[in-house]
Amino acid sequence: MRAFLDAVEEEIIPSGSYLLVESLDRVSREAILDAQATFLQIVNAGITLVTLKGTPKEYSRATVNANPVDLLVSLLEMIRANEESETKSQRIKADWSRKRTRAAAGEAITSQIPAWLQRVGKGFEVIEERAAIVRRIYDLTLQGLGQHAIMAMFNKEGLKPFGRAKWWHRSYVRLVLHNPAVVGTFVPHRMVAGRREPLEPIPNYYPAVITPETFEAVRALDKPVAGPTKMFASMFSGLVKCEECGGPMVRTRKGQAPKPFYHVFVCHNAKLGLGCECRTVRQQTLEDMLRSQMFKFIEDAPTHDEDLTEELNRVEEHISITQEQAAMLVDAIAQRPLPQLVDRLALLDAELVEMRARKVELEAAFRDTARPVVMKRLTDLDDLLDKGEGDIRPRAQVLLRQVLDHIVIHFDREASRRKPRGHLEFVWKSGGRSYLDWGPMFYPVKPTTRSSRRSVDDEEPQQA
């Protein structure tokens, strides 16, 4: 809702638009004064709020001024929503208190359990085959292998991962190494302001598969290495894809102390050892390239997607025809109110609500890909890169993701390794493509061990 209100304030969503919700409790479950303020902010901005549950009802400046009772009805609905939310919260707290008592007595209280265990009656049973893999992860770690090396080893051996994943990932190896469930401890969580917060741990809840001494020995190894401890965001994270296999390219840190560390993008499938031979490109190379060619990047930005324009035209035409049919039915009902005519009118009204909702969606997508909107975001990006105050990468990433679907890194294979060259292919959300040349340094992907201290703090792939 906050994003919607911001878009209204910035006039990205213009006055006269429709906001369709199931009921008013979808707008806000806050305390009544805050909820009413949100409701009035929407209506006063010229937005028509439509509730779809039961009989559809519209709330706008015109309808509320014409019928002030609507404001009272909305107020009562929001009071009910807030009271239901508070009651639900109290019930959840009471239920969790009862669950803790049962857990202390050795009874299973959650359906989510570690992958190396299974539910048996009211308790748990160890899946020995998987528990052996967990122990092996800890043993390999104590032998000096890093998480990436363990992941690559398991994938090369064809070892089946836990769950539905096709391959082992570094993040899951890390999860196993940091999960207190291996020593039998359960850490419950609760949601606070949209975030999971840990509660008091419950020891001896699960069967232990690792000794406390082994767990603590591995934790002692997990100390910060020399060099920077913070991995700054990249403006390209979640956007770049591999030319070879189409997989996501993720960012990883390279280098060995005392020399400075640097960040590179590498194909995620290459990191997993799945056969992709894509090479790595330095993050700084891509960022410098974009800064130096920003004018061409903006100049080549495409306009609307033609398919989007055609669909919007079809929907508008459908709405116009349906409105004419509804008007004719109203005239016919006025002369002879037959039940079948009334039913047909109700169907047309429902169809109009659906078509208007689709029109709102298409208009929002149309505005997001309209050249003025794209140009505004690219101009903001240009100003941001030009000023360069502080760490601008997170904001730059947001602006790029608003206009781009993804970026493909192409490598010219006829170029020598000493003087590589290639181009970036930008796939825009508006449907077009543009290109920029680059000339970075590439480095082969190498497996890592804990002793080498390389490729730490890897990023997992993000959805573009």
CATH of the domain at 63: 3.40.50.1390
Domain final residue pick, 31, 64, 97: 97
Mean pLDDT over residues 413-423, rounded? 69
Which carries the bigger pLDDT value, residue 344 or residue 88? 344
Cβ neighbourhood burial of 129 (10 Å; 0-12, 13-18, 19+): exposed
Mean pLDDT over residues 121-150, rounded? 90
Strands (E), 271-403: 280-282
Tell me what pLDDT residue 464 has: 37
In terms of average pLDDT, the best of 271-275, 312-316, 375-379 is 312-316
CB 236 within 8 A of CB 220: no
Q: What percent of the chain has pLDDT over 70?
A: 77
Backbone angles phi, psi at 243, to 5 degrees: -70, -35
Tell me what pLDDT residue 94 has: 67
Tell me what pLDDT residue 451 has: 40
Tell me what pLDDT residue 369 has: 58
The gap from C-alpha 251 to its chain's centroid, in whole angstroms, comes to: 17
pLDDT higher than 90, residue 291: no
Looking at the structure, do residues 132 and 144 belong to the same domain, yes or no? Answer: yes
Q: What is the DSSP letter of 115?
A: T
Looking at the structure, do residues 250 and 190 belong to the same domain, yes or no? Answer: no
pLDDT higher than 70, residue 350: yes
Looking at the structure, do residues 208 and 238 belong to the same domain, yes or no? Answer: no
Question: Read out DSSP for 159-225?
Answer: PPPSTT-SS--HHHHHHHHH-GGGGT-B--EEEETTEEEE---BTTSSPPSS-HHHHHHHHHH--PP
Tell me what pLDDT residue 432 has: 78
Looking at the structure, do residues 328 and 211 belong to the same domain, yes or no? Answer: no
Amino acid at 427: V
pLDDT higher than 90, residue 374: no
Residues forming beta bridges with residue 406, ordered by sequence position: 427
Looking at the structure, do residues 284 and 400 belong to the same domain, yes or no? Answer: yes
Mean pLDDT over residues 67-90, rounded? 76
Looking at the structure, do residues 18 and 120 belong to the same domain, yes or no? Answer: no
Tell me what pLDDT residue 194 has: 59
How far is Cα 312 from Cα 335, in angstroms, rounded to an integer? Answer: 35
- Mind spelling out the 3-state secondary structure of 140-174? HHHCCCCHHHHHHHHHHHCCCCCCCCCCCCHHHHH
Edge-to-edge strand list for the sheet holding 433-438: 240-242, 404-411, 422-428, 433-438
Count how many domains the chain has.
Answer: 4
Looking at the structure, do residues 351 and 390 belong to the same domain, yes or no? Answer: no
CA atoms within 13 A on the CB side of 201: 10
CATH of the domain at 123: 3.90.1750.20
pLDDT digits (tens, 9 = 90+) for 152-193: 899 889 899 988 888 898 888 999 999 999 999 988 776 665
Tell me what pLDDT residue 192 has: 64
For residue 246, tell me if it sits in a domain. Answer: yes
Mean pLDDT of the chain: 78
For residue 12, tell me if it sits in a domain. Answer: yes
Mean pLDDT over residues 274-302, rounded? 81
For residue 102, tell me if it sits in a domain. Answer: no
How far is Cα 352 from Cα 319, in angstroms, rounded to an integer? Answer: 6
pLDDT digits (tens, 9 = 90+) for 217-251: 888 776 544 444 444 568 888 889 988 888 888 88
Tell me what pLDDT residue 458 has: 44
Which residues, 6+ apart, have CB-to-CB distance to 399 below 8 Å?
A: 377, 378, 380, 381, 384
Phi-psi category of residue 163: left, alpha or beta, with phi > 0 → left and psi -120 to 50 → alpha: left
Measured CA distances, 300 to 287, 380, 450 (Å): 18, 16, 45
pLDDT digits (tens, 9 = 90+) for 85-100: 676 767 766 666 677 6
Nearest to 207 by CA among 128, 266, 151, 129: 128
Looking at the structure, do residues 160 and 133 belong to the same domain, yes or no? Answer: yes
How far is Cα 185 from Cα 156, in angstroms, rounded to an integer? Answer: 32
Q: Which of 228-237, 260-269, 283-292, 444-453 has the lowest mean pLDDT?
A: 444-453
For residue 413, tell me if it sits in a domain. Answer: yes
How far is Cα 36 from Cα 43, in angstroms, rounded to an integer? Answer: 11
The gap from C-alpha 4 to its chain's centroid, in whole angstroms, comes to: 17
Q: Where in the sequence is the domain holding 51, given as residue range(s)?
A: 2-97
For residue 50, tell me if it sits in a domain. Answer: yes
Whole-prediction pTM: 0.43
Neighbour tally for 229: CB within 10 Å: 8
Tell me what pLDDT residue 388 has: 66
For residue 13, tell me if it sits in a domain. Answer: yes
Mean pLDDT over residues 18-41, rounded? 77
Which carries the bigger pLDDT value, residue 61 or residue 82? 61
Looking at the structure, do residues 345 and 201 belong to the same domain, yes or no? Answer: no
Q: Which of 29-38, 171-180, 326-335 has the lowest mean pLDDT?
A: 29-38
Looking at the structure, do residues 214 and 237 belong to the same domain, yes or no? Answer: no
Nearest to 167 by CA among 56, 276, 36, 30: 276
Q: What is the DSSP letter of 126?
A: E
For residue 113, tell me if it sits in a domain. Answer: yes
Looking at the structure, do residues 143 and 282 belong to the same domain, yes or no? Answer: no
Looking at the structure, do residues 66 and 178 belong to the same domain, yes or no? Answer: no
Domain final residue pick, 221, 240, 269: 221
Nearest to 267 by CA among 11, 10, 29, 444: 444
Which residues, 6+ apart, have CB-to-CB distance to 3 below 8 Å?
A: none
pLDDT higher than 60, residue 444: no
Neighbour tally for 3: CB within 10 Å: 7
| pLDDT tier at 453, thresholds 50, 70, 90 | very low
Domain final residue pick, 97, 132, 151: 97
For residue 393, tell me if it sits in a domain. Answer: yes
